[in-house]
Amino acid sequence: MDRLDNTVRPYAWGSPTAIPHLLGVEPTGEPQAEMWMGAHPGAPSRTARGTLVDVIDADPERELGAGAVAKFGPRLPFLLKILAAGAPLSLQVHPDLAQAAEGYADEERRGIPVDAPHRNYKDANHKPELICALTEFDGLCGFRDPVRAADLIDGLGVASLKPYVDLLHAQPEEAALREVLTAILTADPQEMAHTVAEAAAACARLGGDYAPYADLAQHYPGDPGVIAAMLLNHVRLQPGEALFLGAGIPHAYISGLGVEIMANSDNVLRCGLTPKHVDVPELLRVVRFEASDPGVLRPEASPAGEEVYDTPIDEFRLSRYVLPEGGTARDLTLGTPQILLCTAGSVRAGEHELNPGQSVFVPAGEKAEIAGTGTIFRATVIV
């Protein structure tokens, strides 16, 4: 197996301290948002044999296994991250596989450069993702019931929001959510900025259930995404709990440290809480306008001690092992590629001693035994 040397991405929303604290190093003072583990071309992990991209390209079947190559092609189909949100991320959705392929082909046909700020589809893949909390973790996930959203917005007492309240009460669920989100994102920017300022003041005054939206407005003053966020479920994960974000589900991470895994894609359609491009027509094509429970996931334990986060896709499978002091070694050998990430304690993986934040890549079929006291997350695929 290969010890991984991973890149930390310094996005502005990142916490300056959470990842350094996990790694046991001094903060630099700069935001440290995500540490990437995998073979994404934007920041592939490095090994003693070269980057993980180079290692896999040299012999895909040996590294990934014949089953994974047959199903997903000669590439690692997932990206594993440690994510540290010190400020809210943009409100966003991801396309399904057919939408991504269609959108990518259309933008290629129209000759939009892949790095253009108004480009929506960087690739032809979907981007389902799972976030598992390492600390208390706040986020937004999926639409509230329209009546509950109407009651929350009405409670602000902001006159300019009354039409949205009336729409949410009057229309069938899908039409109500679609019409209100469309109205929010297409409103006159100056009028909306004034509405957001009034709403933010009310949220700060009321506190309680309104406190998260006051925080959003503080980071993104005047942004229509503050009002759009009130259409969504607010969820607070405890350590070990997780959220699965499927295609078309609007979501945003607000604060906290977690392990995130996703299909290897960069396709994001933004709804707000961002200075970046918001393509409203394309967004409305992708969003699933249906109320849903956030669906907090708790791991399902097996007799072998593996705790699995069950999701409906095959590009990734995330699980964890919590190794008690004095416990026996566990054999994690699989016929599929794995990344093993330590998040607590000290765990030996093969010949590598792993401390929090350290990880290894295990080629398909290679012996993988872990021992020690701590927590290991295991990322692999389903074939």
Compute the distance between CA of residue 92 and CA of residue 95 in angstroms, rounded to an integer: 10
Average pLDDT over residues 146-154: 97
pLDDT at 157 over 90: yes
pLDDT tens digits along 160-211: 999 999 999 998 999 999 999 999 999 999 999 999 999 999 999 999 999 9
Q: Return mean pLDDT, the chain.
A: 96
φ, ψ dihedrals at 45, nearest 5° = -65, 150
Query: Which pLDDT score, from 0 to 100, does residue 204 have?
Result: 97
pLDDT at 120 over 90: yes
Average pLDDT over residues 142-160: 97
Query: What six digits make up the tokens of 308?
Result: 């699995």
List active site positions.
270
Query: Which pLDDT score, from 0 to 100, does residue 303 have?
Result: 85
Query: What six digits make up the tokens of 172?
Result: 């069938």
Compute the distance between CA of residue 38 and CA of residue 383 in angstroms, rounded to an integer: 18
Compute the distance between CA of residue 91 and CA of residue 251 in angstroms, rounded to an integer: 6
Query: Which pLDDT score, from 0 to 100, does residue 359 have?
Result: 98
Query: Which pLDDT score, from 0 to 100, does residue 65 have?
Result: 97
Give the predicted TM-score (pTM) of the model: 0.94
Taking the CA atoms of the chain, what radius of gyration do you get in angstroms?
Answer: 22
Average pLDDT over residues 286-311: 93
Compute the distance between CA of residue 371 and CA of residue 340 in angstroms, rounded to an integer: 12
Compute the distance between CA of residue 13 and CA of residue 215 in angstroms, rounded to an integer: 13
Query: Which pLDDT score, from 0 to 100, does residue 326 have?
Result: 85
Question: Which residue type sits at 45?
Answer: S
pLDDT tens digits along 33-50: 999 999 999 999 999 999
pLDDT tens digits along 214-258: 999 999 999 999 999 999 999 999 999 999 999 999 999 999 999
pLDDT tens digits along 59-96: 999 999 999 999 999 999 999 999 999 999 999 999 99
Query: Which pLDDT score, from 0 to 100, does residue 304 have?
Result: 86
Compute the distance between CA of residue 121 and CA of residue 105 in angstroms, rounded to an integer: 9
pLDDT tens digits along 313-353: 999 999 999 999 988 899 999 999 999 999 999 999 999 99
Q: How many CB atoms lie within 10 A of CB 21?
A: 17
